[in-house]
Structure 1
Amino acid sequence: MPIPEGAGPLERSLLRDDVYLRLRDAIVDGSLAPGEQLRDGELAQWLGVSRTPVREALLRLGQAGLVVAAPGRSTTVSSLDARAAHDAQAVVAAMHELAVATAVPLLTADDLASMRAANERFRTAVATGDVDAALAADDAFHAVPVRAGGNAAIVSVLDQFTPLVRRLERVRFATLAGRASVARHARLVDLCERGDAAEAAIVSRETWATLDPHGESR
């Protein structure tokens, strides 16, 4: 398995969640490509940890649909499956709809300012073709109402299924099609500011639900 370049070892005090996040992000950004074999010993050496947290992370990645482990065979990065992405997309859209509906009465002026700032970073990143920055800004934007709503179950579901959707988002944000989300983000913030929870929830769902599983614009 070719080890991605430019990643130094993590601290020994690393929690298992950090190992999971590091491997998850490497799969989502393509550093670990579809079909690539994942050997726990090599991954442990790359991350500078023991094999135990790596094995635990691989189990979680399997539950999230990012890796495939066949009994008696090696673990591999899963392919970009359109059906699995479509199913994950539907779940993610529903969770964000619920999160926004819950959060609107709780959002502060600082929350709204954070969403607008994130959308501006998103706009700049999409315009310049910086996919990593676009995804980071999009995450920051949607994280505000999720955090404000305070529903731990929503957070757990999103943690599991969003990475599948994000693998397709990388394709979308690399094109001009991603610019459509800038306007949707702006409308969502305006609705939140007006206290229109019902309409804001609908716009939030649309923002996620219109992602095409074949990588076309939403």
Structure 2
Amino acid sequence: MPVPRGRGLVSRSLLREDAYRAIRDAIVDGTLAPGERLNDTDLVEWLGVSRTPVREALARLEQAGLVQTKPGRYTMVSPLDVRAARNARSVTAVMHELAVREALPNLSGAELDAMREANTRFADALRRDDVDAAIAADDDFHGVLVTACANGALQDVLERYTPVLRRLERLRFASLSGRESVAQHDRIIQLCAAGDAAGAAAATRANWETLAPLLETPPTDDDPARLDPTVATPAGDG
């Protein structure tokens, strides 16, 4: 899909971070498809910013593995890489486990309520087969603990690797087979409310590990992972 034709998505008064997040989100949700060429002029017009924040955003996205650049030739959205997504899932699982351990000693009742509310939205989105809403609610659920842990290094790691994982989820799967996650979330909330840091951390990691079978399913003929023959496909752990 070409770069959207609307003008001025990002206000000129906003920082370069907004340009980065707008392009990143468009890649993650599939608006900008794997293999699509990215033109500075189109992005500048779409976002309503100068070339500098666009080029800085593309450089960051290249570091995150979402964009590929060949100087003087092209910049494009990276093809899907299942192996990279598996690695991202392993890293995010460990980081979320650590977030629980660090957040729990000071977790408030309001934060527990926020987790319950996010899980209610998550369950509702799954019932409606709304993948985007389900992923957003799932991010909100886990985001309560990530914010509460107040660990900037942990948050930086998740900022880098979560988009890689979410991108493959959105593009490869038309719906979420994650209804068991509603009960897993409830269990995490119960353990957090009880002050059981070890139990809550283990339950959180187990929740993220449920993505493993999805990432190890061989792609079918119409799978977006086949958009580029160089895309890595999983061959088992190790």
Match of 1:52 in 2: 52
When the two structures are superposed, what TM-score results if normalisation uses the length of structure 2? 0.86
Find the residue that maps to 2:14 and give its secondary structure. coil
Identity percentage of aligned residues: 58
Shift, 1:14, TM fit: 1.7
Listed one character per residue, the Cα deviations across residues 175-217 of structure 1 (whole Å, up to 9, x for unaligned) are: 351212111111111110011100111111111123132469x
Match of 1:213 in 2: 215
Q: Which runs of 5+ in 1 are unaligned?
A: none
AA in 2 matched with 1:149: C
Structure-to-structure mapping, 1:107-186, within 5 angstroms: 107-170=107-170, 174-186=174-186
Shift, 1:7, TM fit: 7.0
AA in 2 matched with 1:213: L
Shift, 1:36, TM fit: 0.1
**Could you say if the C-alpha distance between residues 176 and 16 of structure 1 is closer, same or farther in structure 2, counting changes exceeding 3 Å?**
closer
Q: Verify the 8 A CA contact 1:191 1:197 in the aligned structure 2.
A: yes
In structure 2, how many angstroms separate the alpha carbons of the residues matched to 1:82 and 1:32? 18
Listed one character per residue, the Cα deviations across residues 6-52 of structure 1 (whole Å, up to 9, x for unaligned) are: 67532111211111100010000000000000111110111000010
**Could you say if the C-alpha distance between residues 152 and 183 of structure 1 is closer, same or farther in structure 2, counting changes exceeding 3 Å?**
same
In structure 1, how many angstroms separate the alpha carbons of the residues matched to 2:19 and 2:33? 18
AA in 2 matched with 1:202: A
In structure 1, how many angstroms separate the alpha carbons of the residues matched to 2:19 and 2:159? 14
Shift, 1:4, TM fit: 2.4
CA RMSD of aligned residues (A): 1.8
Moved more, 76-85 or 164-173: 164-173
Moved more, 28-37 or 169-178: 169-178
Q: Verify the 8 A CA contact 2:7 2:48 in the aligned structure 1.
A: no
Find the residue that maps to 2:62 and give its secondary structure. helix
Match of 2:9 in 1: 9
**Could you say if the C-alpha distance between residues 7 and 96 of structure 1 is closer, same or farther in structure 2, counting changes exceeding 3 Å?**
farther
In structure 2, how many angstroms separate the alpha carbons of the residues matched to 1:173 and 1:85? 14
Q: Verify the 8 A CA contact 1:89 1:209 in the aligned structure 2.
A: yes
Find the residue that maps to 2:68 and give its secondary structure. strand
In structure 2, how many angstroms separate the alpha carbons of the residues matched to 1:49 and 1:92? 32
Moved more, 34-43 or 173-182: 173-182
Structure number with the higher helix fraction is 1
Match of 2:68 in 1: 68
**Could you say if the C-alpha distance between residues 6 and 124 of structure 1 is closer, same or farther in structure 2, counting changes exceeding 3 Å?**
farther
**Could you say if the C-alpha distance between residues 172 and 30 of structure 1 is closer, same or farther in structure 2, counting changes exceeding 3 Å?**
closer
Shift, 1:72, TM fit: 2.6
AA in 2 matched with 1:93: A
Find the residue that maps to 1:13 and give its secondary structure. coil
Between Structure 1 and Structure 2, how many residues are aligned? 216
Moved more, 202-211 or 36-45: 202-211
Shift, 1:5, TM fit: 5.6
AA in 1 matched with 2:54: V
When the two structures are superposed, what TM-score results if normalisation uses the length of structure 1? 0.93
Shift, 1:91, TM fit: 0.8
Shift, 1:174, TM fit: 4.1
Q: Verify the 8 A CA contact 1:168 1:215 in the aligned structure 2.
A: no
In structure 2, how many angstroms separate the alpha carbons of the residues matched to 1:113 and 1:127? 21
In structure 2, how many angstroms separate the alpha carbons of the residues matched to 1:18 and 1:126? 29
In structure 1, how many angstroms separate the alpha carbons of the residues matched to 2:205 and 2:27? 25
AA in 2 matched with 1:191: L
